Each structure stands twice: as structure tokens, then as C-alpha cells.
Amino acid sequence: MKKIKIIIFTLIILLICVSIFFVIKKFSFVKNTGAQLETEFSAGAVINIDKKNYECDFSHISSTTKINIKKPETVKGLIIEWSNDKQTISFKDLKKEFDKPVIPKDSFLNLIVKILDNFTTIPINKIKNDGRREVFIGKIENNEFEITSENSKIIEIFIKSKDAKINFEYQERLG
């Protein structure tokens, strides 16, 4: 009888431990809920901020993001680059690398970089799939965003709190 009590007690403890493990796992790991999107790419882009459009070349490869403004003419050639914790800004013959971010932390462009850099750890939910395009929503630093994709390629990121978006037009696909 004593052996049966020990076996039952051991099984109960084992079941409790397994249950606790799954509860901890569910709540301690932030998951990207089903969004399988390419976050490393080069594309043409149109950025719409404050009702102004900026055409640019955009690339996000590994931990480096680069934006090269093409239009309007007044800022043509302005290049902003994020690489790890550094930012580099260049315009024509001037170039400056900064160890601390100079673009405000909560700016639209910094939020885009953070979304792409941290995509796999941001909680994202699919809200629409019409067979051609998928729409996902998420939140980063208290800013809600919406990503529209087509064939696993991000074609638009809209950040509601900034009322700003970036549209991507792909010329080539990176492997």
C-alpha cells in the first residue's frame, strides 16, 4: 500500500510539474503568431509622413537598415543608416556616424527599423487573408502597426499613432 501511495504521489507531482512548465512557457515567451514574412529585403519605397511623400531605396539586411532618399529634390541623396546601435547620416559630401541615436526614439522611421529588427519576437496577429494579401496587426513601444503582405513580402507598414506608412515596391528578391 505504501508503494502505491508513493507512485500516485510521484505521478501527481509529475503532472503538476508538466502543467506548470506549459503555463510558464505560454506566458514567458512572446511569440509571433503565424506571420511568416521576409524581413530581409531591398526595395523601392514611398514613405508618407505628415502628408508628404518621400521616394527612396530601402534595404533591411541582417541588423542594417538603409534609406536613400530619391525624391523630393530638396532632400535627394540624404542617406540614413541604422547598423546595430549606430546611426549614420550622410548628405552629398557630408557624412557623420553617431554612437547614440539622433533620430528620435519614437519616430516613424525608428519604429519601422525596430519592427523589422524584432519581427520574430513581436506579438503579431493575422486579421485578414483574402487569398492574395494578408494583413497583420501588432504593437511596438505602445504604437499599433499594421503590416500588409503579398506572397510573404511586406508591401506596406502603417503605424497608426504616427498616421504614417511606408509602401515597398520590389525590383529583386533576396535569397
Query: What single string gives the DSSP state of each residue in 121-148?
Result: GS-EEEEEE-SSEEEEEEEETTEEEEEE
Q: Determine the pLDDT at residue 28.
A: 36
Place of cell 540614413: 80
Distance CA(163)–CA(139), nearest Å, equals: 14
In this prediction, residue 168 carries a pLDDT of: 97
Lowest-pLDDT range of 15-24, 64-73, 94-103, 115-124: 15-24
β pairing state of 64-71 and 164-169: unpaired
Mean of the per-residue pLDDT values of the chain: 84
The pLDDT tens digits for 26-85 are: 433 344 555 678 999 999 999 999 889 999 999 999 889 999 999 999 999 999 999 988
The pLDDT value given to residue 16: 72
H or E element, residue 9: helix 2-28
Q: Which of 1-5, 9-13, 65-69, 102-106 has the lowest mean pLDDT?
A: 9-13
- Residue 7's pLDDT is 73
Cα–Cα distance for residue pair 108/47, rounded to 1 Å? 10
**Hey, where are the domains in the chain?**
1-30, 41-169
pLDDT of residue 8: 73
Contact between residue 111 and residue 157 where contact means Cβ atoms under 8 Å apart = no
Q: pTM here?
A: 0.75
- Residue 175 pLDDT > 70: no
Type of residue numbered 9: F
111 has pLDDT over 90: yes
For the cut 90, the answer to whether the pLDDT of residue 145 exceeds it is yes
Q: What is the pLDDT of residue 129?
A: 87
Per-residue pLDDT at 119: 87
Query: What is the fold, at CATH topology level, of the domain defined by 41-169?
Result: outer membrane lipoprotein receptor (LolB), chain A (2.50.20)
